[in-house]
């Protein structure tokens, strides 16, 4: 009998020991699995990408700066003076009150605050005060979040600390999700029993028994499959999590993980992101009604979405508020006030990155520095050079300009290869890219024509030739001025592959013309002669100093832009002219900050001097003439005022249309054409210039700024027909020269006649 018992007991004990050992090993494995994530980075946080903040200062023209549009893009909404909250404003005739949101800049954290802008009768900011009446020199509107670098899960999350979460929000979440959170150890058997009975009575699942900890474990580590093994793992891992970590740690993780809805293809996770997405607020600024709404949405974020189902959302919110009232957390008065509160949900800004081409360009810069994985998971904050307002205007200007061209010239409307355009807006002195449009519709084509495409620049290259000619030279046979006479008559240049015979756009010849007239009127033949006289090698060297990196060969046709370049190269080269001879380092971002607020990188403004300021100013004067009198005068015809310089460009067969314009502070470059290089049939002044004009009309440009003339230059009256000094016996008009290059001979025959010198003095006086 004892032998038989032993035969049964011993194997049973062995099996039990084996099972116990296996259970210990399995539990330890679960513990290791849980801690591997909880001790490391809990969340994969996409890197947020921000535009430049907008500065408000005394003297700002609020209408020209489109302040109301900027506020709208930042999701600011009208509020009440008596209860102005962050993200709200009150716009009055002589005063604007703003509830600025808190924001963490690389320079430090700023808190939410109330500021008052007083306006003068002209609509300019007269003074700025804070909520206590103290005068401020300036304030910043927080930058716009224009996108994020997501991983494959595409989740948006704004990490919050438990110390910053309103106590009422914690109470509300626990009231609806886990009332006994502080009393259980990860599994609430009382709740499980209650849920079992409730479901049994209803004949279906109407109540869950999972604790908040179990919900966190399921979201963090497991799938939603309903199997015994999965539920067992969930229970064990919940117990382990509670054993290893404090209640505040678990609660903080839950509040950052909980799913709170969907923004198109991106999932909203965590209370911090939900507060910003639904109410455009920081979590610390939520009202009681907003707290009730967020807590109530946890049960079914899409079912109780205030956007999709506002009536359900109100009912659910008021249920949560009633629970808080019944538990003694909310008074009768607060309950009544919050229950009657409007949902307060801000308009959903379209999930439409206004700068997708810029975003791709930026990604290339950042991946080279940080790598894809860090960008998608480390929660970096990237402060770009992008002006979101300028970007929207640029995008719309390109789209509207192309649509207008197709309406005016129906043959340009093609289905197989649609008309395309690209635009770059630069701050020339800093090299900052303010806007970038790489094509008509990013959804249809991700090819970035502003950066990746190379096309012949045509006449847009002529200022390079002019700078090469006008720069000081030790060769007496290669000294040119804006008054130098060039011959506009038939030209044939023999070459190894055949003769080159340049022609003007109108197939006409004008005889003798000044260098200024040749560029202002974009005459090909005299500029070709100038290029030959200057020397193609010197033109290539000048182009390289201006920042062109594309292949260029020292051939005579180079002077007319026969080699392919990128729009970004063109913009950078013209920035050299706009800045008086310095080549800026083109920048897509300024600073990068980690999720703890530490600055990882600061992109310094960098440039190098390539030309003397006085040499470059001659070209600036030349390009001002293009706008005032030449092929770019359509800019003036369209009402663009203030100091501005520019150049049109059209290639052979009208395949490419270009226009570049710059002010002392801003540079805009545009290309229009077909990807298959089909003919437009219209020049740059018709296809590209109106797009630039449209942008300049809508974007705030300071027309009071001027091009500052450097030293080393002098103005002298010149006879237009001969390029010689004007005199008493012949007509003269003012021209600018490098000191020492003014023509000595007068059109009246004598270089030293006192009457000629008096005439020259009188002309300068006018």
389 and 376 in one domain?
Answer: yes
| Confidence label for 532 from pLDDT (cuts 50, 70 and 90) | very high
361 and 297 in one domain?
Answer: no
Range among 167-171, 243-247, 741-745 rated most confident? 167-171
Instruction: Answer yes or no: is 685 within a domain.
Output: yes
Range among 334-348, 489-503, 615-629 rated most confident? 615-629
Read off the pLDDT of each residue in 59-71 and give the average, rounded to a whole number.
Answer: 90
> Tell me, what's the pLDDT at 752?
44
> Tell me, what's the pLDDT at 89?
94
The string of DSSP letters for 258-298 reads: -EEEEETTEEEESHHHHHHHHHSS-GGG--HHHHHHHHHHT
Q: Name the strand (E) or helix (H) holding 530.
A: helix 524-534
Least confident of 487-491, 616-620, 639-643, 719-723: 719-723
Specify the 3-state DSSP secondary structure of 657.
strand
Sequence-separated (6 or more) residues with CB below 8 Å from residue 261? 267, 268, 274, 277, 278, 297, 301, 302, 305
217 and 325 in one domain?
Answer: yes
Q: Which is higher by pLDDT, 543 or 176? A: 543
Of 720, 718, 653, 684, which Cα lies nearest the Cα of 511? Answer: 720
CATH number of the structural domain spanning residue 93? 3.30.2060.10
Task: Print the domain residue range for 223.
Answer: 155-339
238 and 117 in one domain?
Answer: no
139 and 181 in one domain?
Answer: no
Instruction: Answer yes or no: is 613 within a domain.
Output: no
Instruction: Answer yes or no: is 690 within a domain.
Output: yes
Tally of CB atoms within 10 A around 11? 10
138 and 233 in one domain?
Answer: no
Give residue-wise pLDDT tens across range 540-593: 999 999 999 999 999 999 999 999 999 999 999 999 999 999 999 999 999 999
Check 144, 177, 234, 257 and give the catalytic one. Answer: 177
What is the 3-state composition of the chain as percent helix, strand, coil, each rounded to the nearest 5?
40, 20, 40
Percent of the chain with pLDDT over 70: 86
699 and 587 in one domain?
Answer: yes
> Tell me, what's the pLDDT at 43?
75
Give residue-wise pLDDT tens across range 114-167: 999 999 999 999 999 998 889 999 999 999 988 888 777 778 888 888 888 999
Q: Is 445 a catalytic residue?
A: no
Question: Which DSSP symbol is given to 411?
Answer: G
Q: Is 327 a catalytic residue?
A: no
> Tell me, what's the pLDDT at 214?
83
Per-residue pLDDT at 350 exceeds 50: no
Read off the pLDDT of each residue in 507-519 and give the average, rounded to a whole number.
Answer: 94
The string of DSSP letters for 429-453 reads: TTTEEEEEE-SS-TTT----TTTT-
| Confidence label for 203 from pLDDT (cuts 50, 70 and 90) | low
Give φ, ψ of 128 to 5 degrees.
-130, 130
> Tell me, what's the pLDDT at 127?
94
364 and 246 in one domain?
Answer: no
Give residue-wise pLDDT tens across range 247-263: 888 899 899 989 998 87
Instruction: Answer yes or no: is 740 within a domain.
Output: yes
Least confident of 216-230, 347-361, 645-659: 216-230
Check 47, 51, 85, 459 and give the catalytic one. Answer: 459
Residue with structure tokens 């197709």? 406
Per-residue pLDDT at 747 exceeds 60: yes
| Confidence label for 351 from pLDDT (cuts 50, 70 and 90) | very low
The string of DSSP letters for 705-762 reads: --PPPPSSEEEEEE-TTTSSBPBTTB--EEEEEETT-S--SBTTS-SS-HHHHHHHHH
Read off the pLDDT of each residue in 346-361 and give the average, rounded to a whole number.
Answer: 75
Per-residue pLDDT at 364 exceeds 50: yes
Strand partners, 669: 424, 660
> Tell me, what's the pLDDT at 451?
96
Instruction: Answer yes or no: is 559 within a domain.
Output: no
**pLDDT, the chain, mean:** 86
> Tell me, what's the pLDDT at 20?
62
CA separation for the pair 728, 736 (Å, rounded): 20
Beta strands in 57-198 (DSSP E): 77-78, 88-91, 95-100, 103-105, 108-110, 113-119, 125-130, 139-141, 145-149, 155-157
> Tell me, what's the pLDDT at 544?
96
Read off the pLDDT of each residue in 675-693 and give the average, rounded to a whole number.
Answer: 95
In contact, 529 and 513? CB cutoff 8 Å = no
Q: What is the 3-state secondary structure (H, E, C) of 349-404?
A: CCCCCCCHHHHHHHHHHHHHHHCHHHHHHECCEEEECCCHHHHHHHHHHHHHHHHH
> Tell me, what's the pLDDT at 349?
47
Least confident of 74-88, 199-213, 589-603, 658-672: 199-213
69 and 209 in one domain?
Answer: no
| Number of structural domains the chain divides into | 4
306 and 167 in one domain?
Answer: yes
| Confidence label for 230 from pLDDT (cuts 50, 70 and 90) | low
168 and 109 in one domain?
Answer: no
Instruction: Answer yes or no: is 729 within a domain.
Output: yes
362 and 321 in one domain?
Answer: no
Give residue-wise pLDDT tens across range 455-503: 999 999 999 999 999 998 777 666 899 999 999 999 999 877 788 899 9
Question: Which DSSP symbol is given to 138?
Answer: -
CA separation for the pair 271, 252 (Å, rounded): 10
In contact, 552 and 546? CB cutoff 8 Å = no
Instruction: Answer yes or no: is 521 within a domain.
Output: no
Per the structure block, which two tokens stand in for 164? 């910053």
């Amino acid at each position: 009998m004892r032998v038989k018992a032993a035969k049964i007991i011993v194997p049973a004990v062995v099996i039990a020991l084996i099972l116990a050992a296996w259970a210990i090993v399995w539990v330890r494995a679960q513990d290791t699995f849980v801690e591997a994530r909880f001790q490391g980075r809990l969340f994969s946080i996409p890197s947020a990408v921000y535009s430049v903040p907008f500065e408000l200062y005394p003297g700002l023209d609020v209408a020209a700066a489109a302040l109301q549009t900027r506020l709208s893009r930042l999701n600011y909404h009208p509020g009440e003076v008596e209860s102005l909250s962050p993200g709200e404003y009150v716009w009055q005739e002589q005063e604007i009150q703003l509830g600025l949101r808190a924001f963490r800049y690389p320079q430090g954290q700023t808190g939410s605050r109330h500021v008052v802008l007083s306006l003068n009768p002209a609509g300019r900011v007269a003074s700025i005060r804070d909520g206590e009446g103290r005068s401020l020199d300036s304030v910043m509107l927080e930058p716009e979040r224009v996108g994020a670098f997501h991983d494959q899960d595409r989740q948006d999350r704004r990490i919050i600390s438990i110390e910053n979460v309103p106590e009422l929000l914690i109470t509300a979440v626990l009231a609806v999700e886990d009332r006994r959170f502080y009393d259980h150890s990860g599994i609430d058997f009382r709740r499980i029993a209650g849920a079992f009975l409730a479901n049994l009575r209803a004949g279906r699942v109407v109540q869950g028994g999972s604790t908040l900890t179990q919900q966190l474990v399921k979201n963090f580590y497991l799938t939603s499959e309903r199997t015994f093994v999965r539920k067992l793992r969930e229970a064990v891992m919940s117990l382990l999590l509670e054993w290893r970590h404090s209640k505040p740690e678990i609660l903080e993780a839950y509040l950052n993980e909980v799913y709170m809805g969907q923004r198109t293809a991106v999932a909203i996770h965590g209370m911090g992101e939900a507060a910003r997405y639904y109410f455009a607020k920081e979590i610390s600024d939520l009202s009681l009604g907003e707290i009730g709404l967020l807590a109530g949405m946890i049960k079914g974020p899409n079912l109780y979405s205030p956007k999709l189902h506002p009536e359900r959302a109100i009912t659910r919110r008021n249920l949560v508020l009633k629970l808080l009232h019944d538990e003694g957390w909310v008074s009768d008065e607060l309950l009544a006030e919050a229950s009657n509160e409007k949902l307060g949900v801000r308009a959903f800004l379209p999930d439409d990155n206004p700068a997708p081409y810029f975003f791709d360009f930026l990604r290339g810069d950042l991946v080279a520095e940080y790598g894809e994985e860090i960008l998608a998971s480390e929660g970096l904050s990237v402060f770009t050079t992008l002006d979101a307002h300028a970007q929207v205007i640029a995008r719309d200007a390109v789209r509207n300009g192309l649509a207008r061209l197709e309406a005016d010239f129906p043959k340009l409307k093609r289905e197989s290869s649609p008309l395309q355009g690209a635009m770059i807006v630069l701050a020339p002195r800093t090299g900052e890219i303010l806007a970038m449009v790489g094509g008509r519709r990013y959804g249809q084509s991700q090819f970035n024509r502003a950066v990746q495409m190379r096309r012949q620049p045509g006449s847009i290259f002529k200022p390079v030739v002019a700078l090469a000619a006008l720069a000081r030279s030790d060769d007496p046979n290669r000294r040119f001025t804006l008054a130098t006479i060039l011959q506009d008559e038939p030209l044939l240049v023999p070459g190894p592959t055949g003769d080159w015979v340049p022609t003007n756009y109108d197939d006409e010849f004008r005889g003798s013309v000044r260098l200024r007239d040749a560029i202002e009127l974009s005459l090909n033949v005299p500029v070709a002669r100038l290029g030959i006289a200057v020397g193609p090698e010197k033109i290539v060297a000048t182009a390289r100093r201006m920042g062109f990196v594309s292949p260029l060969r020292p051939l005579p046709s180079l002077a007319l832009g026969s080699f392919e370049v990128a729009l970004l190269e063109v913009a950078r080269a013209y920035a050299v002219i706009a800045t008086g001879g310095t080549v800026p380092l083109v920048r897509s971002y300024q600073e990068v900050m980690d999720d703890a607020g530490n600055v990882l990188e600061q992109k310094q403004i960098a440039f190098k001097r390539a030309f003397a300021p006085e040499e470059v100013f001659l070209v600036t004067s030349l390009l001002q003439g293009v706008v005032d009198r030449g092929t770019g005068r359509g800019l003036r015809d369209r009402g663009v005022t203030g100091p501005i310089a520019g150049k049109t460009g059209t290639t052979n067969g009208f395949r490419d249309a270009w226009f570049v314009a710059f002010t002392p502070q801003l540079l805009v470059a545009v290309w229009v054409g077909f990807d298959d290089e089909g003919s437009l049939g219209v020049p740059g002044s018709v296809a590209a210039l109106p797009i630039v004009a449209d942008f300049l009309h809508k974007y705030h440009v300071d027309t009071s700024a001027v091009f500052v003339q450097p030293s080393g230059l002098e103005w002298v009256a010149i006879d237009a027909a001969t390029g010689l000094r004007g005199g008493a016996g012949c007509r003269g008009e003012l021209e600018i020269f490098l000191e020492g290059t003014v023509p000595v001979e007068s059109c009246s025959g004598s270089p030293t006649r006192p009457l000629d010198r008096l005439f020259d003095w009188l002309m300068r006086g006018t």
